[in-house]
Homo-oligomer: A and B are copies of this chain.
Amino acid sequence: METRDAIRARRNVRRYAERPIAPDDLDAILEAARRTPSSMNQQAWDFVVVTERPALESLSHVWRYASHVSSSAATVALVMPTSTDADERETYQYDLGQATMSMMLAAADLGIGSCHAALDDQSLARELLGVPEEREVAWLVSLGYPAGRDLEPLDDIDRRPLGDVVHRERW
């Protein structure tokens, strides 16, 4: 798919079809994450990819709005170093945001929907994924073919208008 179409077709998908994601396609999505730029190229991230149904169902309980994880074909847990330094944490988060969007656009290119989720039960996530204490599960990105309509470029989206969000030369 052309990049501009993938950007316009990407949307949050919370109900997924049963269709699995082919291993090569899943790797293409993870490769996009790996290639993402990061602050000082620190790459302070790890990606735990889960595809087994019982594990996905368990993982969906880490946040009350993460139920879409349970029907996903795969969910990627975005992991960052545990830190109490506020600046460091903010930079990790910014970098994870970049990796998230790389994955989402790589997925949209393949007709695969996505949705991110926060989590509020860190200890459950860590236990389910086997993530060590010196790492923290920051976000989940669920992936799968939509149960409803296919991904296609959208004209109308629920966003602030361009003239509101963009300031020319000065605020």
A residues whose Cβ falls under 8 Å from a Cβ of B:
1-4, 6-8, 10, 12, 27-28, 30-37, 39, 41, 43, 45-52, 55, 79, 86, 89-91, 93-102, 104-106, 108-109, 116, 118, 129-132, 135, 138-139, 157-162, 165-171
Contact B101 A167 (CB under 8 A): no
Number of copies: 2
For residue A46, which residues in chain B have a CB less than 8 angstroms away from its CB? 165-167, 171
Q: Are A48 and B167 in contact (CB under 8 A)?
A: yes
* Residue from B48, B94, B101, B116 within 8 A of A102 (CB atoms): B101
Closest chain B residue, CB of each to CB of A106: B7
Closest-by-CB residue of B relative to A138 is B94
Shortest C-beta distance, A168 to chain B (Å), equals 6
Beyond A4-B109, A160-B43, A167-B47, whether A93 also contacts B97 by CB under 8 A is: yes
Q: Is the CB of A105 within 8 A of B7?
A: yes
CA gap between A171 and B136 in the complex, in Å: 12
- 30 interchain pairs, CB-CB under 8 A: A4-B109, A30-B165, A34-B165, A34-B166, A35-B159, A37-B116, A39-B118, A41-B158, A41-B159, A43-B160, A46-B166, A48-B167, A48-B169, A48-B170, A51-B169, A86-B86, A93-B93, A94-B97, A94-B100, A95-B97, A97-B98, A97-B100, A97-B101, A98-B100, A101-B101, A101-B102, A101-B105, A129-B170, A130-B171, A131-B171
